[in-house]
Amino acid sequence: MWVIDEVLMTLKDGNWHDLREIARKCSTNEFRVEMILSFLSKYDFMEFDKKGRKARLRPLMLEFIDEIQRIREEEIIKP
């Protein structure tokens, strides 16, 4: 799995998460996570509080991830 996928899955609950926590859960370093978070926030997929070093996904991105998971589950169930 790509690190960006792991970051998105970590943030999937919609709550604020500390940069250090995200890096630990994704088994990577904080610099890499910060680069990913900066990219995602630049395109408005998430909120990234650089001063507080925390992030959360925006509601529309949460809906998008849920829809992708729903489609994947449907594909698995289809014969």
CATH number of residue 8's parent domain: 1.10.10.10
pLDDT digits (tens, 9 = 90+) for 56-75: 999 999 999 999 999 999 98
pLDDT digits (tens, 9 = 90+) for 25-62: 999 999 999 999 999 999 999 999 999 999 999 999 99
Report d(CA 73, CA 66) in Å as an integer.
Answer: 11
How many structural domains are present in the chain?
A: 1
Domain containing residue 35: 3-77
Q: Indicate the pTM of the whole model.
A: 0.84
Say which residues have a Cβ less than 8 Å from residue 24's Cβ, sequence separation at least 6. Answer: none
